[in-house]
Structure 1
């Protein structure tokens, strides 16, 4: 598979329509492509909406029906448009913050860091069965959560995922990585989730085959 085709597969991977071999090859590409990793995260809300649609689909629709290439192209275009709009909003917010800082520095010092703004939540856990240790720090953002994961896993080689489970039962895979053979050094990954910290019930580290390695419960 050529590099350009791997980039184009980000929507199909996020929606779970790649076959097992293609998904495995894309995950190899994902380890080396931060751009695709961010896009997989951004597809989370769209993937959840499609899951909800599938659960509400009438019986006459074939249960194995999959979204076609045109739908995937539209989703990629919509994500790109949202990214451009988000960048414009960020620039406007930065410009406004500069104006406020120049015109009223005393007020900014007194009121800076409003309640809940940038609030970070950290949790660590070790699973006695698997021996895997992990620590997740989630920082609240306007668009969801900035997530940092630190993990120690000496049972490689294998590909693992960090899965965010919402309080509504929805799931979102926010990052993936490959564990080298017998390498227990800590790995650090940074990604993002469409869910805010207070919407997250727990975090789970799983292998690509779905084996549970460790659960991090913020409660």
Structure 2
């Protein structure tokens, strides 16, 4: 396949919709194309929103359900407040993910009321791995929203934040990629269908299954 056609596969690759053979060929292209590597990173927020939708939306919600214009406008306003104007492509990707995937019950992943209990914050450092993490969790009507701050200088590697329920159940709350040899704090948004009272602990893990740090609320 020509290089130009490979450029066009960047969105499909980032959202995980390429088949195995196409994804393998695109990864070869990605190693030689800095422009596509940047665009894959910019699709990260859209990918996380789709994962949150999948975990927070009841199966009874029709997959073609549409958000109201007011909901879409509020989401775009919140995103634009966090990003620079120059990141317009990322905003368009987020808007597209909402139109395709977000229904009324799930759109509250990005919208929280001012009333209710105060957010819970817990942090920990693992002496073995050297990873430090802080989780800020706030209960919502649909479950809980999460803001994770993490320092990990042992990259590159892909990681996930997992909430472990008191009943032993596990729920992936967010995921991210750790840059190579970068110990600066990385802030990642996330969410879960579980509420804070239902969660016994939080674990930062590599996607290969290694537990990097455990956070236990007091």
Q: Same fold (TM over 0.5)?
A: yes
Map of 1:95-134 to 2, 5 A cutoff?
Answer: 113=115, 117-134=116-133
3-state SS of paired residue (2:171) = strand
Bigger RCO of structures 1 and 2 (CA < 8 A, at least 6 apart):
1
What is the CA distance between 1:157 and its match in structure 2? 1.4
Matched, 1:85 2:121: no
Map of 1:1-219 to 2, 5 A cutoff?
Answer: 2-6=9-13, 9=16, 29=40, 32-44=43-55, 76-77=63-64, 83-86=102-105, 113=115, 117-219=116-218
What is the CA distance between 1:4 and its match in structure 2? 4.9
User: Partners of 1:151 and 1:170 in 2: how far apart?
Assistant: 23
- Distance change (3 Å), C-alpha of 1:205 and 1:87: closer
Runs of at least 5 residues in structure 2 that lack an aligned partner in the other structure: 1-5, 28-36, 67-98
Aligned length: 164
- Per residue, is there more helix in 1 or in 2? 1
User: Partners of 1:3 and 1:150 in 2: how far apart?
Assistant: 27
Q: Could you say which structure has the larger radius of gyration? A: 1
What TM-score does the superposition give when structure 1 sets the normalisation length?
0.60
What is the CA distance between 1:33 and its match in structure 2? 3.0
What is the CA distance between 1:204 and its match in structure 2? 0.5
User: Partners of 2:131 and 2:16 in 1: how far apart?
Assistant: 31
| Equivalent residues of 1:38, 1:192 under 8 A apart | no
User: Partners of 2:188 and 2:133 in 1: how far apart?
Assistant: 11
User: Partners of 1:198 and 1:177 in 2: how far apart?
Assistant: 25
What are the Cα deviations for residues 93-138 of structure 1, in whole angstroms up to 9, with x where unaligned? 99xxxxxxxxxxxxxxxxx94xxx1431100000111011100000
- Distance change (3 Å), C-alpha of 1:31 and 1:179: farther
What is the CA distance between 1:42 and its match in structure 2? 2.3
